Chains A and B, each alone.
Chain A
Amino acid sequence: MFIKLAGSLLIIISATVIGWYRARQYLLRVKHLKELHLAFSIFNTEISYRQTILPEALSKCSNSVEEPVASLFKNTAGDLNLKRGKKFEEIWQQYLNKSESFSGCLKKADIKILREWGQQIGKSELSEQKKINQLTLEKLDIARKNAENEAEKKVKLIRYTGLLFGLMIVILLY
């Protein structure tokens, strides 16, 4: 009897945890998109007013944002300094692919925004670069709003679903 009770409790707890975890992905997406927006607006200011070179601008951004966005910027900057002569685009893509903490929460469309930014940055005159940054910021803003809407709708639902799913299994087992 006791074992049965403990087992049921375990099922309910783990189902709830899974639910919370799944819901957290939605919240993290919002958070990451916010951080990215912040990072890119710092970047834009850096290159617009101070014409800072790419490695420096990126590491400055990394100091002002939270993980995992900070790592993405910091690693890219580090590699740019280390492997001189390598294209920024390649290094950026490489770290985008690597950072799994992103790919888990961010959607493909979000990653695409970052990818497209990386393809264009550093390759043209300042006025063009500013436009690219502005566009990226707008895109990130829209993505964040979508993410917030989605989170609002789904977070509670998924959390309860986890709990209810656990309960259901337990009831079925009895």
Chain B
Amino acid sequence: MQHAILNYLPVNIKNIIKKLDYSSDQLLEIRLRVNKPLEVNTFQDSIFLSYQVKHEDIEEAMIILTDNSLYALERQLREGFITIKGGHRIGFSGQVIVKDGNIKTIKNINSINYRLTRELPGTADRVINYIYNYRYHNIYNTLIISPPICGKTTLLRDIIRQISNGQTNNGIESKKVGVVDERSEIAGAYNGIAQNKIGKRTDLLDNCPKAKGMLLLIRSMSPEVIAVDEIGSKEDVRAIEEAVNTGVKLIATIHGNDLKTIKNRPAINRLIDKKFFSRFIILSRRDGIGTVEAILNQQGERIN
């Protein structure tokens, strides 16, 4: 198997993964846990290899991932993952150091999870017609609701790309899109430059807290559409309310199973009650990652 991620694996594990008979786009995760067998997850199944991961492997992996420069990755260490070139995400867990109730850093890493991003251009084809308002030629405020690993970020990324590029034959106008990528997931930015295809008219604010970033983008980059991942906190909602009053359209994602579970979260519920979102896209894994369960309108009625 050949994959850019191999360069980020400790040498022992790299040699094992290299020999595996998978094509690189089948691979989903490579998991290292101290004193546990090496785990590889693909789209089809998860397999355990006979290799026992050693403490030294994890240590070596962390040195590779941090480039011997913990000081440059304080924020990432606090959040528990690092984004590498190519937009892949490497998560880790270990002993958490807490200060004043906040996570300060994670030390003595015991597990590392290499999550491979897949860019799937065309994922948004199924939904783009529902979220584009052909009459006024703008985007509906859209909320993508999805449990983890159901492809919500992949979908959001492709929506951003399609809106940003526009589709002349489909009557979709190209829009200026501002992306606030708090965790470098959407654009997979490395050194601030997007590694994933996010469209020609997209301005990226990498690593920036969502609430602050949305308002900053409106002031500085005059976007027509703003896209953010995983909203939920009170600050997010307040920033969204403020942003929408400036006439900017919003596309956001949130963790959840359906509209009902989302409504249990007070901050978000306030937005829904105010009829802020005109479209809801609900994802699941029923027919594989990225299954579109339903697309709902403002009233919560199914329209697909």
**A interface vs B, CB < 8 Å?**
47, 51-55, 57, 80, 84-88, 122-126, 128-129
Contact = CB atoms under 8 A, between A and B. Distances in A.
Interface stretch (B62-70, B155-163, B211-219, B258-266): B62-70
A55 B7 CA distance: 17
Contact of A129 (B7, B60, B67, B71): B71
Contacts of A80: 67-68
A87 B68 CA distance: 7
Contact of A126 (B7, B66, B71): B71
27 contacts: A47-B71, A52-B69, A52-B72, A53-B67, A53-B68, A53-B69, A53-B72, A54-B67, A80-B67, A80-B68, A84-B64, A85-B10, A85-B61, A85-B63, A87-B63, A122-B66, A122-B69, A122-B70, A122-B71, A123-B70, A124-B71, A125-B71, A125-B74, A125-B105, A126-B72, A128-B71, A129-B71
Interface in B48-98: 60-61, 63-64, 66-72, 74
A57 B69 CA distance: 10
A47 B71 CA distance: 8
Interface in B8-64: 10-11, 60-61, 63-64
B95 to A, nearest CB: 15
A54 B69 contact: yes
Contacts of B64: 84-85
A interface, by DSSP: helix, strand, loop or mixed?
Answer: loop
Given A53-B68, A88-B68, 11 more contacts: A47-B71, A47-B72, A51-B71, A51-B72, A55-B68, A84-B67, A85-B11, A85-B63, A85-B64, A123-B70, A126-B74
Contacts of A87: 63, 68
Given A53-B69, A54-B67, A55-B67, A84 B7 contact: yes
Contacts of A52: 69, 72
A50 B159 CA distance: 33
Nearest to B72: A51
A51 B61 CA distance: 21
Interface in B92-147: 105
Contact of A124 (B11, B61, B67, B70): B70
Interface residues of B, number: 16
Centre residue among B66, B68, B74 by max chain A CB count within 10 A: B68
Nearest to A80: B68
B8 to A, nearest CB: 8
A54 B69 CA distance: 6
Contacts of B63: 84-87
Contacts of B70: 122-125
B57 to A, nearest CB: 10
B90 to A, nearest CB: 14
Nearest to B10: A85
Of B7, B63, B67, B71, most A-chain CB atoms within 10 Å: B71
Contacts of A85: 10-11, 60-61, 63-64
A85 B7 CA distance: 10
A47 B67 CA distance: 13
Contacts of A53: 67-69, 72
A54 B105 CA distance: 19
B111 to A, nearest CB: 18
A87 B69 CA distance: 11
Nearest to A126: B71
Contacts of A129: 71
Contacts of A123: 70
Contacts of A88: 68
A119 to B, nearest CB: 13
